[in-house]
Chain A
Amino acid sequence: MLQIAGRKFSSRLIVGTGKFSSNSVMKEAINASGSEIVTVALRRVDLDNTQEDIIEAIDFSRIQILPNTSGAQNASEAIKIANIGRNMGLGNWVKLEVTPDPWYLLPDPIDTLKATEKLAKDGFAVLVYMNADPVLAKRLEDAGAEAVMPLASPIGSARGMKTKEMIRIIIENSNLPVVVDAGLGSPSDAGYAMEMGADAVLVNTAIATSDNPVKMAKAFKLAVEAGRTGYEAGIIASKEHAYASSPEKGII
């Protein structure tokens, strides 16, 4: 079972709630995904275009809500947003994101580390969005993070596991759950991350903006389960040449 900050989860798929066409599609997709951890963002209410209440569509009895700090460009903005989420009543979990560059949305490692130290000290369960840097992953662990969330490729890019070699090292070294986040485009990308031994994956855009988000949520669920089951079963080593599957003796 996946365990983060002392809480156990049977699903290893975390889903984001952005970009869905409606609350009802989102709700159905979350159900189809089987996810027990769901991310939300915090924003000023747009008075001219009051959107549906996203919180109303999330079943708190079954789902751990994970507010993110998206929009924060430095540590102090991220800390402020995290505290707003907690004061609002969303609990003490936070997905820390510090992204100063809007074009690639790559996380600032220095401010991410600073914010992790402060938020962990202040009693938050900090799940940290980070570049796939194994040394930073260890530093975040020391700073009190509850999970590291290395990016596979830039957010929403659907480019898949571009950072796989570094993610492999993070998984090898980490004492924390490793959640591969960002850039997973297809169910096979998620399955690949899980086969490598990732503890979980986070998917938003690939589900929400597909032609059929509910069906795609189910596809990611199956891929995550297949990948994890394969990892637990022990995937065999690859070889340079053929090894016959049929007996080599008694050939007719």
Chain B
Amino acid sequence: MKLLVNGKSRDFNAKTVEELIIDLKLNNRMLYIQLNGKPIKKEEYKTAMLKENDCIDIISAVGGG
């Protein structure tokens, strides 16, 4: 199904937020995730279901001064 992840439209097989971050190989990272503008807590990754055209923002820490 098509998902809009960080502004880019892509096809994914993932059905939950957890499956999505595993697909993206981000599952061991500290992340901040919003699903359609709503923050998703880590303990909700498993139960947060995805549907066609959902908009997901994934933020992580990067190098900075």
Contact = CB atoms under 8 A, between A and B. Distances in A.
Contacts of B29: 53, 55-56
Residue among B8, B25, B32 having the largest count of chain A Cβ atoms under 10 Å? B32
Contacts of A74: none
Nearest to A51: B62
Interface residues on B, range: 20 to 34
Given A47-B8, A47-B10, A54 B63 contact: yes
Interface in A54-73: 54-56, 65, 67-68, 70
Contact of B30 (A70, A88, A208): A88
Interface stretch (A36-44, A120-128, A192-200, A233-241): A36-44
Interface in B38-60: 39, 42, 57-60
Nearest to A207: B65
A102 to B, nearest CB: 15
A45 B63 contact: no
A18 B63 CA distance: 4
A50 B32 contact: no
Given A42-B32, A45-B6, A84-B32, A50 B25 contact: yes
A185 interface: no
Nearest to A48: B8
Residue among B6, B62, B63, B65 having the largest count of chain A Cβ atoms under 10 Å? B65
Interface in A89-121: 89-90
B31 A41 contact: no
A35 interface: no
Given A45-B26, A87-B32, A88-B31, A55 B10 contact: no
Contacts of B8: 47
Contact of A39 (B24, B31, B58, B65): B65
Interface in A1-57: 16-20, 26, 39-47, 50-51, 53-56
A44 B59 contact: yes
Given A87-B39, A88-B31, A90-B30, A40 B6 contact: no
Contact of A70 (B5, B57, B59, B65): B65
A140 to B, nearest CB: 20
A158 to B, nearest CB: 13
A42 B6 contact: no
Nearest to B39: A87
Top 4 closest A-B pairs, CB basis? A41-B64, A16-B65, A204-B65, A17-B63
